[in-house]
Chain A
Amino acid sequence: MGNYIGKVVKRVEDPRFIQGKGRYIANLNLPGMSYAAIKRSPHAHANIKSINVEKARNMEGVIAVMTGKDLAESGLGTLPCGFTPPDIKLPPYPALAIDKIRYMGHGVAVVVAESRYLAQDALDLIEVNYEVLDAVVDAKKAREEGAPQVHEETPNNTSFYWPIGDKEAVEKAISEADHVVDLNLINQRLVPNAMEPRAVVAQWDDFSGEMTVWTTTQNPHVIRVLMSAFTLFIPENKLRVISPDVGGGFGSKIFHYPEEIIIPWLSKALNRSVKWVSLRSESFVTDAHGRDHVTNCKLALKSDGTFTGLYVSIHANMGGYLSLFAPMVPSALCLTLLNGIYTIPAIYGETYGVMTHTVPVDAYRGAGRPEASYMVERLINIAAQELNMDPLEIRRKNLIQPDAFPFQTQVALVYDSGNYPGLLDKAEEVSGYQAMRAAQKQARGEGKLVGIGVSTCIEACGVAPSKAVISLGAGVGLWESGSIRVHPTGMISVFTGNHSHGQGHETTFAQVVADELGVPIENIEVIHGDTGRSSMGLGTYGSRSNVGMAALSKTAEKIREKVIKIAAHQLEASVEDMVYDQEKGEIHVKGSPDKKKAFGEIAFACLTAHELPDGMEPGLEETSFYDPENFVFPNSAHICLVEIDRNTGEVEIKKYTAIDDVGKVINPMIVEGQIQGGIAQGVGQALWEHGAYDDQGQLLAGSMMDYAMPKAGKLVDYQVDRTETPSPHNPLGVKGVGEMGTIASTVSMANAVMDALSPLGIKHLDMPLTAEKIWNAIQNSGS
């Protein structure tokens, strides 16, 4: 079907970006703009004894200075948490700290001035008297007796406990197993570092009582609901949230952030437009971090490598406050994926959500699912090693077979479709796995440290069926809307509540609508990121934009139905006899291709409206709301080759092969781009990135000089290929691609490094697998 779906269509977004004409919020300047800067705590845990803002207030060019107390007293709400499992203890999260600091970087006062430089100057005139207290930064240590307490509301620093699966069955499996792999691991903290720093501009209109907020968010409609109901208390119909071009998100721009409410609040209070743009140094200590799990996991097996049980216990670091979706990440988004793509008869997982004196942690590319894959795939690799099996073979032995779908896992989810043996076969073939193994044997003989990493992964995305996510603890359903407005000339505006911050929705969504209606893609404009234009949508994260695409597919169906009725009426034929040719955008009578109407003719007829069937409304515009019946389950197998320099411990990536099955592909170029970028981020976690804290809650990796981002010179050309198993329930058969590369690559890279080190008897090292860590491990191995 169609001219566009499945084909490479160059991105319609590109022209503005390659010329530096992207519409980022930092570029926005409004008349009478003022500029905000935020004084932030240098301590992780402290009582605020006093704040003196008088000097700052009196500085020339300063318009206002407000403290956390000032804001709270003026009625500003606290930041909500949108995922609340039973018995969660939920301490309030004030936009600015009022009397206590719980993470380094939390704001204590805000300055508004006539320029950004003046606002920054004024920060230095604010005097804060802190009583510095002992901090705790490690999730496991935070639950030990005597640990500094983060909140009164969370005794033992434990906010929630989330178990899933059959504990008894797993314990039995472990006690009866021929072999058990027992592994303690740390999935380290990451700093998302989207290239565009967060920014907020707010414009209050005193005459109309309307507030417009531009904010770098992945989900403007969600932010509007939260602002209206929990934080700003401005009626939704008077509140417009715009998220124009956003320079990358990776999860970090999902959440409702303090600045998002402080800036509009000030705009209203001062009756001025106010702008705040994060410095990178602020991004490091305010953008929600990712991962940070301390885990014990066990895999039980028969001696022939058959999996019999899986046990997981996670201490998930939530940071100083619960960010918007934070409790969902290590629980419902992580433990439900422990099944991987395997048959595992018994699974049990539990998560403790732990408060510490660190930056709040929330979803970061993959969000819980990379952590799940990391555990499962590390365990399998160690098992293979200990049972003297090939890592590909042990996986193959345990795969869910293609005839087993829909497949009910032991941890709540029902997988929709998949061909996992085909996936693994293709990965083996494309990567040249057997030849690599042979070459590895030879290299090892020469004393080289060469490793091959194998991993598979599964992701539950297209989040999600509203009933399912609310039963798991979410505060909102996760459906999507899609509107198509056909203008009288046949030009089309498409509105979606999904949001593109690099993914290329303006291209792929247009491809879908173009094919559904049989119109040239040039006639379509996709509009997103503005609550004043699109109807409700839940945004883009969790590889869920396929939900918005599905909504549009259903909307297009409604448009086609109306077009067919009009064409039938005009051609004096019955509706049943009409054929909608989606390649040509023509509607003709069955068997008489010359008796036809073009799509554009019908669009114009909806304006003139004198030749419509009796009783039909004029105009050609439809909206659909789509709530998916299930998650979609893309899956992948990645294989990579590394060599470690024995003298320096440095890892050189020699080869990287990724086979992903993301269901039906709309635009192969964009799908490959998503996978490539995802791989780089996963490799970044495996080898370099670490949001390291010292014992007192100082972020040691607080700049791009200290936090090692993946760079071009350290990466290689990835060999990206795919299998295509459509989702049976998504109207387009699509599954989701945004997070796949990251989920699979983190652990394939870690497995490769550990495979390289295995001849030295090194079983496991925690990420990041830096040269220093590896060098030390080599020295300590005694070889």
Chain B
Amino acid sequence: MSKTAFRLNVNGQDYEVLVEPRKLLSDVIRDDIGLTGTHVGCEHGVCGACTVLIEGKPQRSCLVFAIQARGQSIRTIEDVADENGDYSTLQQMLHEEHGLQCGFCTPGIVLTMEAFLKSNPDPSEEEIREALSGNLCRCTGYQNIVKAVQKTILRGHEEDKEIASL
């Protein structure tokens, strides 16, 4: 199958890729761009491990052809910690609350929840669990992931208070 050249913007950087139009975004991110933090767990859009943000929205990169994401901005797990390597609050809370075990589902969960908390900054536990239901984790039983998200929200409130008191 013939290859097509196009540009992908991943984590703020432009990449020229030359791939078959049928190649999945997950495969291009992993194999051609070399960012292997996007994990492929099921290749049929159920497990959520391959979740990336496309224009800020969580998407299954295994259900998108890379060429469909041409010209759009894509964000992967490698871009969540800042340039100094400091974790996002959610990443930090996942660490503190033991919200991961084998780590395979973790990148997808981080991206799904980062986007979720942007769209719903103060969710109930039920809403968190509902939002998390598109990401499968076989290790944790989800409890500590939920807790990490709740702690992330609390931390956000504390920071808001600090800012307000300045």
A interface residues, Cβ below 8 angstroms from B:
10-11, 13-22, 24, 26-27, 29, 116-117, 193-197, 245-248, 250, 279-281, 501-504, 669-670, 672-673, 676-681, 703-705, 709-715, 717-718, 741
Residue of B nearest to A277 (CB): B40
Asked if B141 and A197 sit within 8 Å, CB to CB, the answer is no
The CA of A29 and the CA of B31, in the complex, are separated in Å by: 9
Asked if A195 and B105 sit within 8 Å, CB to CB, the answer is yes
Q: In the assembled complex, how far is the CB of residue A102 from the closest CB belonging to chain B, in whole angstroms? A: 26
- Residues of the B chain whose Cβ atoms lie less than 8 Å from the Cβ of A501: 102
Asked if B37 and A670 sit within 8 Å, CB to CB, the answer is no
- Residues of the A chain whose Cβ atoms lie less than 8 Å from the Cβ of B44: 280-281, 703-705
Asked if A712 and B129 sit within 8 Å, CB to CB, the answer is yes
The listed residue (B78, B98, B142) touching A670 by CB distance below 8 A is B98
- Residues of the B chain whose Cβ atoms lie less than 8 Å from the Cβ of A281: 43-44
Q: In the assembled complex, how far is the CB of residue A20 from the closest CB belonging to chain B, in whole angstroms? A: 2
The listed residue (A197, A248, A713) touching B129 by CB distance below 8 A is A713
- Among B63-71, B88-96, B153-161, which stretch is in contact with chain A? B88-96
Q: Is B59 an interface residue (CB 8 A)?
A: no
Give 10 A-B pairs besides A20-B36, A705-B44 with Cβ atoms closer than 8 angstroms: A18-B103, A18-B106, A19-B85, A20-B37, A196-B39, A248-B102, A250-B138, A677-B140, A709-B136, A714-B133
Asked if A195 and B98 sit within 8 Å, CB to CB, the answer is no
Q: Is the interface of B mostly helix, strand, loop or mixed?
A: loop
The listed residue (A15, A195, A712, A714) touching B146 by CB distance below 8 A is A712
Residue of B nearest to A718 (CB): B143
Q: Is B57 an interface residue (CB 8 A)?
A: no
With A195-B138, A704-B44 in contact, is A10–B96 under 8 Å at CB?
A: yes
Q: Is B8 an interface residue (CB 8 A)?
A: no
Chain B contributes a number of interface residues (CB within 8 A of A) equal to 60
The CA of A193 and the CA of B125, in the complex, are separated in Å by: 26
Instruction: Name the 3 nearest CB pairs between A and B, nearest first.
Output: A20-B37, A17-B103, A247-B104
- Residues of the B chain whose Cβ atoms lie less than 8 Å from the Cβ of A681: 138, 141
Q: Is B49 an interface residue (CB 8 A)?
A: yes
Asked if B22 and A17 sit within 8 Å, CB to CB, the answer is no
The CA of A196 and the CA of B104, in the complex, are separated in Å by: 6
The CA of A504 and the CA of B95, in the complex, are separated in Å by: 12
Q: Is B53 an interface residue (CB 8 A)?
A: no
With A17-B100, A22-B104 in contact, is A715–B129 under 8 Å at CB?
A: yes
Q: In the assembled complex, how far is the CB of residue A35 from the closest CB belonging to chain B, in whole angstroms? A: 10
- Residues of the B chain whose Cβ atoms lie less than 8 Å from the Cβ of A741: 141
Q: Is the interface of A mostly helix, strand, loop or mixed?
A: loop
A-B contact pairs, 29 of them (CB 8 A): A10-B96, A11-B95, A14-B103, A17-B106, A18-B87, A18-B95, A20-B35, A29-B31, A195-B105, A245-B102, A245-B103, A250-B138, A501-B102, A669-B98, A672-B98, A673-B98, A673-B140, A673-B144, A676-B144, A681-B141, A703-B44, A704-B46, A709-B138, A710-B142, A712-B146, A713-B129, A715-B129, A717-B125, A717-B143
Q: In the assembled complex, how far is the CB of residue B13 from the closest CB belonging to chain A, in whole angstroms? A: 16
Residue of A nearest to B128 (CB): A712
The CA of A280 and the CA of B141, in the complex, are separated in Å by: 21
Residue of A nearest to B24 (CB): A117
The CA of A680 and the CA of B143, in the complex, are separated in Å by: 10
Q: In the assembled complex, how far is the CB of residue B122 from the closest CB belonging to chain A, in whole angstroms? A: 18
- Residues of the B chain whose Cβ atoms lie less than 8 Å from the Cβ of A711: 132-133, 136, 142
Q: Is B10 an interface residue (CB 8 A)?
A: no
Asked if A502 and B46 sit within 8 Å, CB to CB, the answer is no
Asked if A15 and B46 sit within 8 Å, CB to CB, the answer is no
Asked if B100 and A14 sit within 8 Å, CB to CB, the answer is yes
The CA of A32 and the CA of B128, in the complex, are separated in Å by: 45
- Residues of the B chain whose Cβ atoms lie less than 8 Å from the Cβ of A245: 102-103
With A676-B140, A676-B144, A703-B46 in contact, is A502–B41 under 8 Å at CB?
A: no
Asked if A195 and B47 sit within 8 Å, CB to CB, the answer is yes
Q: Is B80 an interface residue (CB 8 A)?
A: yes
- Residues of the B chain whose Cβ atoms lie less than 8 Å from the Cβ of A246: 102
The CA of A672 and the CA of B97, in the complex, are separated in Å by: 11
- Residues of the A chain whose Cβ atoms lie less than 8 Å from the Cβ of B145: 712
- Residues of the A chain whose Cβ atoms lie less than 8 Å from the Cβ of B78: 19-20
Q: Is B101 an interface residue (CB 8 A)?
A: yes
Asked if B77 and A195 sit within 8 Å, CB to CB, the answer is no
Asked if B146 and A13 sit within 8 Å, CB to CB, the answer is no
Asked if A27 and B30 sit within 8 Å, CB to CB, the answer is yes
Asked if A20 and B38 sit within 8 Å, CB to CB, the answer is yes
Asked if A195 and B137 sit within 8 Å, CB to CB, the answer is yes
Q: In the assembled complex, how far is the CB of residue B70 from the closest CB belonging to chain A, in whole angstroms? A: 19
Contact with A along B97-119 (1 / 0, CB 8 A): 01011111111001000000000
Q: Is B130 an interface residue (CB 8 A)?
A: yes
Residue of B nearest to A14 (CB): B95
The CA of A20 and the CA of B100, in the complex, are separated in Å by: 12
Q: Is B76 an interface residue (CB 8 A)?
A: yes
Asked if B40 and A26 sit within 8 Å, CB to CB, the answer is yes
Q: In the assembled complex, how far is the CB of residue B150 from the closest CB belonging to chain A, in whole angstroms? A: 10
Asked if B41 and A195 sit within 8 Å, CB to CB, the answer is yes
- Residues of the A chain whose Cβ atoms lie less than 8 Å from the Cβ of B110: 18
The CA of A41 and the CA of B136, in the complex, are separated in Å by: 28
Contact with A along B16-52 (1 / 0, CB 8 A): 0000101100010011000111111111101101000
The CA of A237 and the CA of B111, in the complex, are separated in Å by: 44
Q: Is B5 an interface residue (CB 8 A)?
A: no
With A13-B103, A19-B81, A712-B145 in contact, is A502–B139 under 8 Å at CB?
A: yes
- Residues of the A chain whose Cβ atoms lie less than 8 Å from the Cβ of B46: 703-705
The CA of A279 and the CA of B36, in the complex, are separated in Å by: 17
With A681-B138, A704-B44, A713-B133 in contact, is A195–B102 under 8 Å at CB?
A: yes
The CA of A704 and the CA of B132, in the complex, are separated in Å by: 16
Asked if B136 and A713 sit within 8 Å, CB to CB, the answer is no
Q: In the assembled complex, how far is the CB of residue B43 from the closest CB belonging to chain A, in whole angstroms? A: 6
Interface core residue of B22, B91, B145 (most chain A CB under 10 Å): B91
- Residues of the B chain whose Cβ atoms lie less than 8 Å from the Cβ of A676: 140-141, 143-144
Asked if A713 and B132 sit within 8 Å, CB to CB, the answer is yes
The listed residue (A15, A27, A248, A280) touching B43 by CB distance below 8 A is A280
With A17-B106, A18-B91, A501-B102 in contact, is A248–B138 under 8 Å at CB?
A: yes
